[in-house]
Amino acid sequence: MRSCTHPSAARRKHTGFTLIELLVVILIIAVLAVLSFLGYSRYRDMADKTRSINNLRQIMMANASYAADHSGRYVPLYATDEEGSRTGFWFQDADFIRQLVGNVTNAAGNPTRQIPVDYLDQKAVRRGHTHLAMSFGMNDTGLMARTGPNVRASQYSQRIANPSGSMAFATATDYRITYNNRIGGRAFGRTTNGSMAYRHGGQEDTNEQGHTIMRGGAALVAFYDGSAREMTEADIREIDNTRGGRSSSFWDPTQNR
């Protein structure tokens, strides 16, 4: 007995995807790709932040070891020669670098002061900024006024009144962080005004000067007790409003409030 197949059923059997079906498949693939990228970016940002916080802790540990070897004096923000000219900065100090990374050599096997990128702020490294002074800066409160011949602008461990609440280093775009430029600075690059950098998290934007900023981002801060954590611009303003700003122990390590 011959079976009879309806013509429309035969056509459906041999017909491929329709245009609408193809568009739906492409849309689904595109959505999955976007979600995968967002998930990867979020994971990468979290990994960068964790690693950079650990690097800040390592810097403070090296600073503490430096102080132990120098009668309680931390690595100087800068040093001057017999004529009062600045001759070196904290990120160039050979003893400090040795405490941080050991004896560093270049490809030719010669000693170098270039810090490996593994010790830097990984968010800055991703933007091509591979210098320590474009990753982290030292709190310069009470140090910049120290001038004259043979000066070593250092804090002393014996004078740190509140180690767990006093900032030693933080993410920055300069080798130093100054109170006057604690907020509103650019997130990446190199400056000479002591800007604190809020580059972790947040939404990338451009300020009035055309520089990249991260709205809602956080700076990473290391304290004299060796701890480190993220802080937002709102956190810094809170210190201004409730603890006296520059005269607080956060900015001035010799204070206890």
**112-164: pLDDT as tens digits:** 677 899 999 999 999 999 999 999 999 999 998 888 899 999 999 999 999 99
Burial grade of 186 (CB within 10 A; 0-12, 13-18, 19 or more): buried
Whether residue 201 has pLDDT greater than 50: yes
**What is the mean predicted confidence (pLDDT) over 207-229?**
93
pTM, 2 dp: 0.82
Whether residue 85 has pLDDT greater than 80: yes
**11-30: pLDDT as tens digits:** 445 456 687 877 888 888 88
Q: Any idea which residue has 């990753």 for tokens?
A: 135
CA distance 206 to 152: 38
pLDDT confidence of residue 228: 97
Whether residue 231 has pLDDT greater than 80: yes
Percent of the chain with pLDDT over 70: 88
Whether residue 170 has pLDDT greater than 50: yes
Tell me if 25 sits within 8 A of 102, measured CB to CB: no
Percent of the chain with pLDDT over 90: 65
Burial grade of 242 (CB within 10 A; 0-12, 13-18, 19 or more): exposed
Q: Mark 13-46 as b/e (b = at least 16 C-beta within 10 Å).
A: eeeeeeeeeeeeeeeeeeeeeeeeeeeeeeeebe
Q: Any idea which residue has 């830097």 for tokens?
A: 120
- pLDDT tier for residue 7 given thresholds of 50, 70 and 90: low
CA distance 73 to 168: 13
pLDDT confidence of residue 141: 96
Among 100, 98, 75, 101, CA closest to 88: 75
pLDDT confidence of residue 40: 59
